[in-house]
Copies of this chain bind each other. A is one copy, B any other.
Amino acid sequence: MSKQTTDLRIGMVGYAFMGAAHSQAWRTVNRVFDLPLQARMAAICGRDQGRVAEAATRLGWQEHTTDWRSLVGRDDIDLIDVCTPGDSHAEIAIAALAAGKHVLCEKPLANTIDEARAMAAAAARAEAEGVRSVCGFNYRRVPAVALMRRLVADGRIGEIRHVRAVYLQDWITDPQFPLVWRLQKDKAGSGALGDIGAHIIDLTQYVTGQLITGVSGMTETFVKQRPLPAASNGLSAATGDGRTGTGAVTVDDAALFLARLDGGAIATYEATRFATGRKNGLRVEINGSLGSVVFDFERMNELEFYDATRPAAEQGFARILVTEPEHPYMSGWWPPGHLIGYEHSFTHQARDLIEAIATGQAVAPSFADALQVQLVLDAVERSAGLGSTWSEVEPALTEIAA
């Protein structure tokens, strides 16, 4: 590591789950990878003065503020990391890009298509000025997923026939689980579809190199009324629906859709928060004319690969333990067989972004890529509203880049 390393000064907005994960990534990335820029955790921003101060101490940021606009305006900040809920992404990210800051924005890119389009346009303008932007579909940076991508891109499974993708969770199966903001449409935009369905859309398009062109969708809300969080605090249920203490769930609990991809593959997708026993069950299987690949996030250090060009008596799904130095991202970590975890995908994301900034190259997934994912979500919702009738995905004028 040379002495000439230049700092990359980070300003982060938001400090909840994603804020903690991103902080761990910025703190770790230069300890593991030899990079041309040194990440500095300069300042963190949040709405509540007390809580952001506590977060700064806990997560290790040098300064804290409650004013994201001043953060974006500072000359000594190089990159804005947007970890807020989706409804503020557009405003913050566009302002940051306009101020010449590189931007890492969590998914979903925005809560509306219009906002997402504006962000993609702003990112394209900034890109021309050498300002980088990327959307936080971190699962691309799981080494097993990157290896899956590489095998597919190298033609090892041939022509792709089938995509089979599910994202299964179970954290709201209890009907007494309260009506948190993620279950309210005005705050969350959508339910399982946008929250976790977006991940499998991005991941499968990334791995296959194909874009979804049309869908037939269906959504369901199994538990339609839930206790208000306020109610459990003993407060009156001001926002309830008339019945004391409960409110309406206004987003989907589960979303299912069939799809066609532009390279000829057909696909099934399912996102749900009601798959009892499945905690973070992001699973993807892709079948091609020469082989298949299978990934399951609950065993995220493994990739299964079936190579149909092997001798007939020896064919089988090989469980590849993706911890070898020959595997993507792994040379920086531990010896073979020593596993990595969830947050490492964020460290890899930070690494790729730092390298892109240093070398002046684009980094995927771009805001345009993220806009395209939301156009798929939009098509699913339209189809579900029309009795599952086939719905074309509106063009996003984007191509998937590796």
Q: Give chain A's interface residues, CB within 8 Å of chain B.
A: 1, 17, 20-21, 23-24, 27-28, 30-31, 54, 57-60, 147, 151, 157, 161-162, 164, 166, 168-171, 173, 175, 216, 218, 220, 222, 254, 256-258, 260, 264, 266, 268, 270, 272, 274-281, 285, 287-292, 297-301, 303-308, 311-321, 323-324, 326-327, 334-344, 383, 387-390
Q: In the assembly, what is the distance between CA of A195 and CA of B181, in Å?
A: 46
The 24 sampled A-B contact pairs (Cβ below 8 Å) are A1-B54, A24-B28, A24-B31, A31-B59, A162-B270, A170-B308, A216-B258, A218-B258, A218-B260, A222-B264, A256-B266, A268-B268, A274-B287, A276-B306, A279-B321, A279-B335, A297-B337, A312-B324, A316-B318, A316-B319, A339-B341, A340-B341, A383-B388, A388-B390
CB-CB under 8 A from A336, the residues of chain B are 171, 279-280
CB-CB under 8 A from A30, the residues of chain B are 58
Is B272's CB under 8 angstroms from A292's CB?
Answer: no
Q: Please judge, given known A-B contacts A173-B308, A323-B279, A337-B298, whether A27 and B17 are in contact too, CB under 8 Å.
A: no
Q: In the assembly, what is the distance between CA of A226 and CA of B222, in Å?
A: 46
Nearest opposing residue in chain B for A310, CB measure: B318
CB-CB under 8 A from A280, the residues of chain B are 335-338
Is B31's CB under 8 angstroms from A216's CB?
Answer: no
Q: In the assembly, what is the distance between CA of A301 and CA of B279, in Å?
A: 12
Q: In the assembly, what is the distance between CA of A297 and CA of B337, in Å?
A: 8
CB-CB under 8 A from A31, the residues of chain B are 20, 23-24, 27, 58-60
Is B258's CB under 8 angstroms from A256's CB?
Answer: yes
Contact among B21, B27, B58 for A1, CB-based, below 8 A: B58
Nearest opposing residue in chain B for A390, CB measure: B387
The main secondary structure of chain A at its interface with chain B is: mixed
Contact among B258, B268, B292, B342 for A338, CB-based, below 8 A: B342
Is B334's CB under 8 angstroms from A258's CB?
Answer: no
Is B220's CB under 8 angstroms from A218's CB?
Answer: no
Q: 8 smallest A-B Cβ distances: which pairs?
A: A279-B337, A280-B337, A277-B306, A216-B388, A316-B318, A341-B341, A316-B320, A338-B342
Is A281's CB under 8 angstroms from B337's CB?
Answer: yes
Is A287's CB under 8 angstroms from B277's CB?
Answer: yes
Q: In the assembly, what is the distance between CA of A342 and CA of B335, in Å?
A: 10
Contact among B28, B275, B387 for A292, CB-based, below 8 A: B275
Q: Please judge, given known A-B contacts A24-B28, A342-B334, whether A257 and B254 are in contact too, CB under 8 Å.
A: no
Q: Please judge, given known A-B contacts A257-B258, A339-B342, A388-B390, whether A270 and B272 are in contact too, CB under 8 Å.
A: no
Q: In the assembly, what is the distance between CA of A387 and CA of B168, in Å?
A: 27
Give A251 Cβ to nearest chain B Cβ, in Å: 16
Q: Please judge, given known A-B contacts A318-B317, A388-B389, whether A291 and B276 are in contact too, CB under 8 Å.
A: yes
Q: In the assembly, what is the distance between CA of A1 and CA of B220, in Å?
A: 42
Q: In the assembly, what is the distance between CA of A24 and CA of B387, in Å?
A: 47
Q: In the assembly, what is the distance between CA of A387 and CA of B258, in Å?
A: 11
